[in-house]
Amino acid sequence: MNGPAPAGRRESGVGYMAQSALWFAVMALLVKLAGRTLPALQIVFVRGCITLLLAAATLVRARASPFGTRTGTMLLRGCFGSSALVCFYVAVVNMPLAEATVIHQTAPLFTALLAAWLLHEHLQANVVLAIGLCLCGVVLIARPGALFGDAAAEFPWGYAFLSLLGAMLSALAYVTVRSLGRTENPLVVVFWFPLVTVPATAPFALPQWIWPDAPGWCELLGIGVTTQFAQVALTRGLAREPAGRATTVGYLQVAFAALFGALVFGDWPDGLALVGMVAILAGLLLCHRAGAR
């Protein structure tokens, strides 16, 4: 009876992480749209308010306690996640989406290394190779100007560093979620993220508040709802998979972003982008086979 269970848990974990990547890609698109008229910290604050209400309602419906058993660790997860969120949103609003996404997608590499160090998870050579393949695919899809010779645009190194810092903080948050997933209700873990984000960003967001128009409110609402879906899927996925392998599936976010760009803006992928998507899929397959052994 104990034999089949791990395989089922692995499959469901990968599926949850793929769902998370899809919803995060939709969220990033909405953040880019909302950032045309609204400050980044206001977007973070409103997103936190919406997800806090949704998470609280979910807890009430499930009749679950919001405290769990490791409140200190959940508070730490909220701090890491909130800081990473601010870094990523500011980078997305102030950088080309391609560059910001490429840099942020270094998070799985940091996650695998931190999980091996802090959680003593075995870092398989195939997982490291899968991360490398996926990162190459991300670069081929997004093609940041700094690497592909777009000399006309000055590269914003300050925001690039901020995006890299966000990736490192995201890795710390993922490792913390992985640790919490062993003992805590995923709904409680999700609840604590906006519980920290809202009071942490309010002092910065409210003084520069810009009242959104109707499309702006729709974008903000969409950001909050898609974030909630993404966070629940992420938490469930990390509870079922080793952190390094699970977050590698997050590279699908870039493939989804390329698809959305084609459908929404008519920006169809060319040959290099298609090669990048194949590299991502190859990396995911390699990662999945490594975890199945």
Unique residue bearing structure tokens 């300050």: 158
- 216 pLDDT tier (thresholds 50, 70, 90): very high
Q: Is residue 140 part of a domain?
A: yes
Q: Is residue 4 part of a domain?
A: no
Q: Is residue 12 part of a domain?
A: no
Q: Is residue 209 part of a domain?
A: yes
SS3 36: coil
Q: Is residue 128 part of a domain?
A: yes
Are 145 and 155 a contacting pair, CB within 8 Å?
yes
Q: In total, how many domains does the chain have? A: 1
As a whole number, mean pLDDT of residues 148-163 equals 68
- Say which range, 7-16, 47-56, 107-116, has the weakest mean pLDDT: 7-16
Nearest-10 Cα torsion for 8, 181, 170, 70: 180
Over the stretch 233-282, which tens digit does the pLDDT of each residue have? 887 887 777 776 777 777 787 778 778 877 777 767 778 778 887 888 78
| 133 contact partners, CB below 8 Å, separation of at least 6 | 279, 280, 282, 283, 286
Domain span at 208:
24-292
Q: Is residue 8 part of a domain?
A: no
Q: Is residue 32 part of a domain?
A: yes
Q: Is residue 15 part of a domain?
A: no
Over the stretch 9-26, which tens digit does the pLDDT of each residue have? 445 577 888 899 899 889
